[in-house]
Structure formats: structure tokens, C-alpha cells
């Protein structure tokens, strides 16, 4: 009996040892994840102000970015705040569906539009923060999608405020223009955000902020004007609970706008808020609280002000509100698609500048390396060394004005190793130095024309005289090379 008991205890001990090794076995079995990068190791359009580390590497597989949802990097909290917001609003919609007839009651459709738009902006923003780091094109594509979500949420806010929170005297003034203006301002907000993102690294930061914040601020002021009027005329006849939630949504939104505009607290503690504590994360939390208060206030208005909005809005007006929501989403999608086409053209133009390939066959050299490599070649006055570099790929010299330029081939690209390119550029510098010396000596001593296949100065019509205006020119000499057969 004692032997059997000891045997069972030994097996239990072995099982506990194996259980302790399970985390290690799972870690070894899971695919390895590339390490995070610092801000100096990623392109500048991925960098955030005062955030120095936690950047994910570019060009990884889609599965890597999906799995990075459970990895520690500077977009983890941004993604999870929106994912949790999406799940929270989905749960709120399910609870509303228990007491609100979204199918049979047309007056409930604006509340449905608000709930769907709240989930939409959270889902779009979560995708942008999670998948926008794959490449430059994906970065712009997903963040333009994020701005579509923001614009359609602005329209959803205008819907419930106009339908449930509007007072009768204000309805008489804006009944015919409120919703069309809300559609227009939502589209302008999407356009301003997309264009501000597109020009984010060619314009000062404050210009980009103004371009993004101004249309959104105008849309918010117009969409929330019924709530402002109710809060201004707060009376005992109104539902105090609904007004408290309306006041809460205003306070939460203004607080979120502050943290969206000013990078605090990472400006005070640069490098210490890379993972947790960024202003954008605080902005996400406050915006979700604003939306939650807005849904609750609209639900209370739907229950408590039914007699008023049933008199102000007919049965067909709810269907018009839903139709305008579809129009708003479609217009914002077209705006974002146009900006994506514009971005792709710019990126294709950059790729066409890359004429070198990697020696390992992985793909084209990064644009920054090519631009640094060929910077002097683009600035050089004489294309002699450039012609030497590019002659094997079909490039030919072409005379234009007083300079000689290179004409690229119709198809194909050079396949020259980077080391060879660097050596050829060094040879180019040496040749340019020699040409500068020869030109200076020629100009100084007025030697006769060199008979080596090119001419430094144009002769006049009379072969017995030289172009004295060219000899008296004190500017830096230009190499007027013409290739003779």
C-alpha cells in the first residue's frame, strides 16, 4: 500500500515538473517575433513626437502584425482601447435591442445609426493602429480608413442630436439645412484629415493640426448645437438625467480634443511614455467615455421626449436620415480612395527613382539609400561620369540648352551592385575635379580649343575669333559637353 502511494506521489511530482515547463515549451514552439525598433530605425512618417522606442519593423507578414496585438509595443494600448470600445458598444447595442424595437419603430433608427457609427470608428481606428505599420502605403490606407470612421461617427452624432435633442424653436430655423450641412461638414472633416495626413511631413506640425482640427471642430459645433441650446436653457421641465449625460459628453469630448492637440505627458517625459501614458491613448479613453455618455443621453431622450420628436419629425424623415448616412459613408470612401490614388502616384514616382537592386536579390534598395547615393550625380554639371555609370543600361546623353542631360531607356533598369555604384561615383568626383582644373586653366591662359571629342566654349561663326563674352564671364564655368561621332 505504501509503495502504491509513493508511486502516485512520484507521478504527481513528475506532472507538476512538466506543468512548470509548459510556458517554456510554448515559448519555444511559438514563432519568433522581431524585436522592436527605435525611432531612428524607422522612416519618419512612422515616428511620433517624443516617442523614442517600441516601433515595429516594416515589411513583415500580415500574421506578424495580427500577432503583435499581444506584443508589447507603442501601438498596443492604442489598439486595445479601440477594441475594448468596439466590444463595449456592441454589448450596449445588444442591451438596447432588448427594450428598443429597431426594426418596427422608425423613430429608433437614429439611435441605431449612432450605435453603428460608434462601433465603426472604433473598428477602423483599431485596424489603423494594428496594421498601419506594414508599409508606407498601408500606413496611409488604414489611417484614411480611420478618418472615414471618424467622419461617419460625426454624422451619427448629428443624427441623434437633431432627432431627439432638438428644441422646437431651433427646429423651426434649421429643419431644412441641418442634416445636409452635417453631411457636408463630415465630408470636409474627412478630406481635411486625409490631406493633413498626406502632407504631414511636408508642412509644419501646426499647419497639419489646423487642417485636421478646424473641419472637425466646425462639424462638432454644428452637430452638437442642439445640445448646447438645451444646456444653456436648462430648466426643471427637462430630464435631469439626460442633461447630465449630455453635459458629460461635452466635457469628455473637450478633454479628448485637448489631449489630441497637445502631446502631453510625453512632452514632459520624453521616452518614458513610449508604451503606456501617451496623449493619444488618453484621447481614446476620453472619446469612448464621450460616446458612451452620448448613447445613454440619446436613449433617455428617445424614451422621455417621444411626444415632442414624434410631432417634429414625420415617419419618412427617419428613413431620410438613414439614407443620408449611407451617402456620407460613400462620399467619404470616395474621398479616401482619391487620396490613396494620390499617395500611390507619389510612391510610384519614388520607386521609379530607384535604379539599383540589392545584390542579395531581396528587392529594391530603400529610397533613402538611393537618394543619398545619387545625390551628387543629380547635382553635377557634367554628365560624363553619369554616362559612364549608365551607358551599360541604355542611357544616352541629350543636349538641352547649355547642359547635357541623360535620357533613360524605355524599359529596364540597371542592375549594378551598390559597392560598384559607390566606386563609380567616386570616379565621377575625380573626373569632375579634373574637368574643373582644365576649365580654370583654359580660361586663365586662353588656350586653344581642345581636340579630344568635346568643346568647352562655343566658337563664334568666324573661326578666327573666339566668343569674348564667354571668356570675360566670371561665373563658375559650365561644362558644355557635346558628344561628337
Tell me how many degrees the CA angle 250-251-253 measures, rounded to the nearest 5: 65
Tell me how many degrees the CA angle 47-52-54 measures, rounded to the nearest 5: 85
pLDDT at 286: 97
Spatial neighbors of 412 by CB under 8 A, at least 6 apart, are 393, 394
Closest CA to 302 of 459, 57, 113: 113
pLDDT at 45: 81
Closest CA to 481 of 461, 462, 453: 453
423-473 pLDDT, tens digit each: 556 666 776 677 667 667 666 655 444 444 444 444 444 444 444 443 344
182-222 pLDDT, tens digit each: 999 999 999 999 998 888 766 776 777 777 888 999 999 99
Q: Tell me how far apart the alpha carbons of residues 411 and 331 are, in angstroms, rounded to a whole number.
A: 39
Cell of 327: 451617402
296-330 pLDDT, tens digit each: 999 999 999 999 999 999 878 999 999 999 999 99
Helix (H) or strand (E) run with residue 338 in it: helix 315-352
pLDDT at 259: 94
In 65-209, the DSSP E strands lie at none
pLDDT at 233: 85
pLDDT at 366: 44
Burial of 70-86, coded b for 16+ CB within 10 Å and e otherwise, reads eeebbbbbbbbbbbebb
Q: Is the peptide bond before 265 cis (omega within 30 degrees of 0)?
A: yes
CA distances for 252 relative to 294, 434, 473, angstroms = 10, 69, 69
Closest CA to 123 of 91, 172, 84: 84
Radius of gyration of the chain (CA): 33
Q: What burial class does residue 255 get, using C-beta atoms within 10 Å of its C-beta: 0-12 exposed, 13-18 middle, 19+ buried?
A: middle
241-257 pLDDT, tens digit each: 999 999 999 999 999 99
Question: What CATH class does 59-352 carry?
Answer: mainly alpha
CB contact at 8 A, 50 and 270: yes
Closest CA to 260 of 282, 232, 237, 242: 282
Q: Tell me how far apart the alpha carbons of residues 406 and 135 are, in angstroms, rounded to a whole number.
A: 32
Cell of 270: 520624453
> How many CB atoms within 10 Å of residue 291?
27
User: Cα-flanking dihedrals φ and ψ of residue 399, to 5°?
Assistant: -80, 130
Helix (H) or strand (E) run with residue 407 in it: strand 403-407
Helix (H) or strand (E) run with residue 404 in it: strand 403-407
pLDDT along the chain (485 residues), means of 10: 60 54 49 85 88 94 94 96 97 95 94 97 97 94 96 97 92 92 96 88 71 89 94 78 94 94 91 93 97 96 93 88 96 96 88 53 42 40 38 44 47 41 62 70 56 43 41 38 33
pLDDT at 350: 75
> Number of helices (H) and strands (E), helices first, in the chain?
17, 2
Domain with CATH 1.20.1070 in the chain: 59-352
For the four alpha carbons of 176, 177, 178 and 184, in that order, the dihedral sign comes to positive
Q: Tell me how far apart the alpha carbons of residues 352 and 107 are, in angstroms, rounded to a whole number.
A: 55
pLDDT at 134: 94
CA distances for 367 relative to 348, 409, 412, angstroms = 11, 20, 18
Closest CA to 200 of 242, 144, 145, 254: 144
Amino acid at each position: 500500500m505504501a509503495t502504491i502511494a509513493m508511486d502516485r506521489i512520484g507521478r504527481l511530482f513528475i506532472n507538476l515538473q512538466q506543468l512548470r515547463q509548459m510556458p517554456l515549451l510554448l515559448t519555444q514552439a511559438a514563432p519568433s517575433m522581431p524585436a522592436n525598433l527605435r525611432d531612428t530605425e524607422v522612416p519618419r512618417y512612422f515616428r511620433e513626437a517624443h516617442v523614442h522606442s517600441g516601433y515595429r519593423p516594416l515589411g513583415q507578414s500580415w500574421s506578424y502584425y495580427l500577432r503583435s496585438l499581444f506584443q508589447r509595443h507603442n501601438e498596443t494600448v492604442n489598439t486595445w482601447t479601440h477594441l475594448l470600445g468596439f466590444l463595449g458598444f456592441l454589448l450596449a447595442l445588444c442591451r438596447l435591442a432588448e427594450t428598443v424595437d429597431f426594426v418596427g419603430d422608425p423613430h429608433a433608427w437614429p439611435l441605431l445609426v449612432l450605435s453603428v457609427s460608434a462601433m465603426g470608428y472604433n473598428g477602423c481606428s483599431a485596424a489603423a493602429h494594428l496594421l498601419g505599420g506594414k508599409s508606407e502605403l498601408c500606413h496611409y490606407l488604414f489611417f484614411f480608413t480611420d478618418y472615414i470612421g471618424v467622419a461617419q461617427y460625426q454624422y451619427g452624432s448629428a443624427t441623434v442630436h437633431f432627432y431627439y435633442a432638438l428644441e422646437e424653436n431651433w427646429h423651426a430655423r434649421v429643419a431644412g439645412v441641418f442634416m445636409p450641412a452635417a453631411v457636408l461638414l463630415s465630408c470636409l472633416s474627412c478630406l481635411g484629415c486625409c490631406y493633413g495626413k498626406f502632407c504631414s511631413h511636408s508642412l509644419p506640425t501646426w499647419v497639419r493640426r489646423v487642417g485636421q482640427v478646424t473641419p472637425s471642430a466646425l462639424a462638432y459645433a454644428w452637430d452638437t448645437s442642439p445640445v448646447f441650446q438645451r444646456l444653456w436653457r436648462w430648466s426643471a421641465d427637462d430630464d435631469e438625467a439626460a442633461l447630465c449625460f449630455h453635459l458629460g459628453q461635452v466635457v469628455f469630448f473637450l478633454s479628448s480634443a485637448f489631449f489630441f492637440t497637445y502631446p502631453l505627458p510625453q512632452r514632459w517625459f520624453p521616452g518614458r511614455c513610449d508604451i503606456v501614458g501617451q496623449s493619444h491613448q488618453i484621447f481614446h479613453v476620453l472619446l469612448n467615455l464621450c460616446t458612451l455618455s452620448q448613447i445613454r443621453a440619446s436613449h433617455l431622450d428617445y424614451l422621455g421626449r417621444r411626444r415632442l420628436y414624434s410631432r417634429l419629425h414625420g415617419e419618412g424623415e427617419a428613413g431620410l436620415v438613414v439614407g443620408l448616412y449611407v451617402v456620407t459613408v460613400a462620399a467619404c470612401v470616395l474621398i479616401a480612395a482619391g487620396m490613396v490614388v494620390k499617395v500611390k502616384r507619389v510612391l510610384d514616382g519614388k520607386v521609379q527613382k530607384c535604379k539599383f537592386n540589392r545584390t542579395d536579390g531581396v528587392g529594391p534598395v530603400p529610397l533613402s539609400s538611393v537618394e543619398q547615393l545619387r545625390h551628387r550625380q543629380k547635382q553635377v554639371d557634367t554628365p560624363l561620369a553619369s554616362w559612364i555609370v549608365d551607358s551599360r543600361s541604355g542611357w544616352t546623353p541629350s543636349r538641352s540648352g547649355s547642359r547635357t542631360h541623360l535620357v533613360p531607356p524605355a524599359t529596364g533598369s540597371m542592375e549594378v551592385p551598390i559597392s560598384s555604384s559607390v566606386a563609380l561615383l567616386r570616379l565621377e568626383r575625380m573626373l569632375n575635379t579634373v574637368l574643373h582644373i582644365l576649365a580654370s586653366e583654359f580660361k586663365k591662359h586662353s588656350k586653344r580649343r581642345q581636340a579630344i571629342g568635346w568643346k568647352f566654349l562655343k566658337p563664334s561663326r568666324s573661326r578666327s575669333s573666339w566668343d569674348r563674352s564667354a571668356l570675360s564671364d566670371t561665373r563658375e564655368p559650365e561644362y558644355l559637353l557635346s558628344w561628337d561621332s
